[in-house]
Amino acid sequence: MSIVVTGATGHLGRHVVEQLLEKVPAEEITAVVRDESKAADLAARGVRLAVADYNTPETFDGLFTSGDKVLLISGNEFDKGRVGQHRAVIDAARAAGVSLLAYTSAPGSLTAALADDHRATEDVLLASGLPYTLLRNGWYHENYTENLAPVLAHDAVVQAAGEGRIASAARADYAAAAVAVLTGEGHENKTYELSGDEAWSFAEYAAELSRQTGKEIVYNPVSPETFTSILTGAGLPEAFAGILAGVDVSIEKGELAVTTGDLSRLTGRPTTPIGESVAAALKG
């Protein structure tokens, strides 16, 4: 039996594997990767590597064994049919008879187009009959703190979210929740709405950036159309820019401000404050 993590060299996947290594022997962890060279450090620590690609379903044939616990980290290739990608993993897991498949989904409150693939994947997973855990991850601090260059260049936070608030948390927090599920008991057929302990607004975010940088950084709310134009002007594909603008519309409606406490309960500690992630990004 193994704990299997797909997308193991991605931002979230690496956090999960690192935290698993603190709790279970390395030989009990299987990291699913596309490129073994990107996981050489994990292999050196004793983690088993398995090479597979969401876009090539047959690469998952025989990858899982009966009794495995699997974390399916959602793909990020929005243009390649993510539901089909996820279905390939679910089908292989069902054929093997894994004991649990946990899936990183989107908040149940989110109505933006970004959530569509997640809802459809949840339907596939529930229809499979596999024991499941839905980890409905809220927004990540890093969605903003890893993109500070334009903010600091223009002394402005530009979003299309109005006065909406976000109950985000750090990637490491969401990883800790996944690890708790993969190494714990009693999580079968459960849905967890995961979010930060405290919601914040972009005006507050700008104020926090000002405090930590000593610069005067303002929040400049714009329309979804203007925001889409800004993102495409920065080189994002139009479809993806539209998805991000749609998330901001959802933020303005309060759809990402929900605080359930599930995340801190699963991890056994408070979630990381946004200011802490800002400080880490500014140092980095």
Which DSSP string corresponds to 96-157? HT-SEEEEEE--TT--SGGGHHHHHHHHHHHHHT--EEEEEE--BTHHHHTT-HHHHHHTEE
Query: 112 falls in which pLDDT band (50, 70, 90)?
Result: very high
Query: pLDDT at position 77, please?
Result: 77
Average pLDDT over residues 121-143: 98
Report the predicted TM-score, pTM, of the whole model to 2 decimal places: 0.96
Cβ partners under 8 Å of residue 96, min gap 6: 62, 63, 64, 65, 66, 68
Phi, psi of 220 (to 5 degrees): -115, 95
Whole-angstrom distance, CA of residue 186 vs CA of residue 171? 24
Query: pLDDT at position 222, please?
Result: 98
AA letter at 144: Y
- The tokens describing 25, both together, are 């022997």
Whole-angstrom distance, CA of residue 150 vs CA of residue 78? 24
6-65 per-position pLDDT tens digit: 999 999 999 999 999 999 999 999 999 999 999 999 999 999 999 999 999 999 999 999
Whole-angstrom distance, CA of residue 104 vs CA of residue 197? 19
Q: What percent of the chain has pLDDT over 90?
A: 96
The partner residues of 69 in beta bridges, in order of sequence, read 3, 100
Query: 231 falls in which pLDDT band (50, 70, 90)?
Result: very high
